[in-house]
Structure 1
Amino acid sequence: MSEVDPLLKYREQHKHRLNYMPWLYWSLKPKNRGWAEAWQQEYQDYLQAMETVEIGKNCFISPLAHIFAEPGRKIVIGDNSFIAADCTLHGPLDIGSEVAINHHCILDGGRVGIKLHDQVRIAAYCHLYAFDHGVDLEMPIYQQPVRSQGIEIEKDVWLGAHVGIKDGIHIGAHAVVGMNSMVTKNIEARSIVAGNPAKFIRYRD
C-alpha cells in the first residue's frame, strides 16, 4: 500500500466530520486548512455553476446537503455561514452572514421566500416551510391552491433542535425557540418560547 493511504483515509474521515460539525472548519490547523479550503472552493464553484446560488466569503457548505435554486428561486448565502450535511434547501432563500444551519434541516422558500438575518442559529432537524395548502373539503388537498406568505427570522435568533416554522411567521431579533416547538404565531424580539404550539415563557433580558 502507498505510504499516503493512511493520510488520505484520515482526510476522508475529517471531511465526514466537517460535513456534520461544520463549525470545526474555522478552527482547523494550518496543515488541514489548505486542503479543506480547496475542497470547499471546488464544491462551491460547482454549486454556483449548477444552481442559481450566490455564496459569500469564508463559507462552509457540505457536499452532502441538497441545495436547489432554479431560476426565480435564488439562494443567497452571506459571509461566514455554514450549511451542514443532509439539509434540503429550496429557494428563494436569503441567508445572512454568520448563519448556522445544522444537519437534517429543511428550508423551502415557497414562492415568497425565507429570509434569515445575520447570526441566526438553526439546530438540527428544524423544518421551515414558506408555503401552505388549502384544506377545502370540496377537493383533495393536493389539488388545492398553494399559498406563500414567506418567513422572516431576524438577527441573533436561536431555533432549538426539531423546531417547525409555518408559513407567514416573523420572529423578532434575539428570540429563542425551545426544542421540539411548533411556531404558529409571530414571536416578539428577545422572547423565549417553547411548546406545540409555541408559547411565551419569558424575555431574555
Structure 2
Amino acid sequence: MRNIYLLLYYGFARYLPSSYAPVVGKPSNAIRIFLVKRIFKSCGKISTIDRLAYFGNGKDLEIGDYSGIGERCVVPKNTIIGKYVMMASDVHIVQNNHNYHDTSVPMCFQGSSSKVPQTIIEDDCWIGTRVIMTPGRHIKKGSIIAAGTVLTKDFEEYSIVGGNPAHLIKKRNKL
C-alpha cells in the first residue's frame, strides 16, 4: 500500500496548489498530509506539506506535531524533524557526499559515500528560505537558521546562525 501512496503523492498531490493559495490551498495541503501519514515512518499532527516537496521514499522520515515542510524542499528519507519546526521554501538537506580520496580516479567514477548520515532537527526550530545543509547536521532545540545559510557544522541550542559558511549571529534568550 505504501507504494500506492507514494505514487499518488509524486504523480499527483505534490503538484496541487500551494498550501497557502486562496480557497484550494487548505484542501491541497490536506491531501498531501493524508498521503505522507501513510508514507513516513511516523507523523504527528503535521501542519504543512507544501507543493513540490521531495523526500525520496520517506520510509524512515519522522516528523513531529505542528511541523511542516515548505515548498520545493528536499528532505532525505532518513531525516528526523521534531515538533513545532517551521521549514520555509527551497530548503535542501544534502543526503551524502561523493568520494574524492583517490586522485588517480576521476571523482565522477568514485561514487558516493555508502554511509548516509542522519539529519536531526530538534523541536521549535525555524529553517529559513534556501538553506542548504550538509549531510548529518543536528539542529538543536530552539535554533533559527537564517535564509540563504549554508550549514556545514552544528551549533548549540537556541542559536541564531547565518551566512556561508554558517556562523553564530547570536543566542536566543531562554525565559
Q: TM-score band (shorter)?
A: 0.7 to 0.9
- Is the CA contact (8 Å cut-off) linking 2:33 and 2:48 kept in structure 1? no
Structure 2 counterpart of 1:82, from 48, 53, 56: 48
Summarize deviations over 1:51-93 as a string: whole Å, max 9, x none.
xx534xxxxxxxxxxxxx6xxxx54332133111111112331
Partner of 1:169: 137
Question: Post-superposition shift, 1:102?
Answer: 1.3
Question: Post-superposition shift, 1:177?
Answer: 0.6
Q: Which has the higher contact order (CA 8 A, sep 6+)?
A: 2
Question: Post-superposition shift, 1:194?
Answer: 0.4
Q: Which moved more, 1:132-141 or 1:144-153?
A: 132-141
**Secondary structure at 2:168 match in 1:** strand
Q: Which moved more, 1:153-162 or 1:89-98?
A: 89-98
- In 2, Cα distance between the equivalents of 1:175 and 1:44? 25
- Is the CA contact (8 Å cut-off) linking 2:150 and 2:163 kept in structure 1? yes
Question: Post-superposition shift, 1:135?
Answer: 1.5
- Is the CA contact (8 Å cut-off) linking 1:114 and 1:130 kept in structure 2? no
- In 1, Cα distance between the equivalents of 2:68 and 2:49? 6
- Is the CA contact (8 Å cut-off) linking 1:118 and 1:154 kept in structure 2? yes
Distance 1:150 1:157, change over 3 A: same
Fraction of identical pairs, as percent: 26
- In 2, Cα distance between the equivalents of 1:121 and 1:101? 7
Unaligned runs of 5+ in 1: 1-17, 48-52, 56-68
- In 1, Cα distance between the equivalents of 2:76 and 2:104? 27
Partner of 1:36: 27
Question: Post-superposition shift, 1:97?
Answer: 1.4
Larger Rg: 1
- In 2, Cα distance between the equivalents of 1:133 and 1:36? 40
Q: Which moved more, 1:138-147 or 1:84-93?
A: 138-147
Structure 2 length normalisation: TM-score? 0.74
Equivalent residue runs for 1:116-127 within 5 Å: 116-127=81-92
Partner of 1:19: 17
Q: Which has the higher helix share?
A: 1
Runs of 4+ in 1 over 6 A off after TM superposition: none
Distance 1:93 1:135, change over 3 A: same
Partner of 1:144: 111
**Secondary structure at 2:27 match in 1:** helix
1:54 and 2:37 equivalent?
yes
Equivalenced residue count is: 153
User: Residue type of the partner of 2:79?
Assistant: I
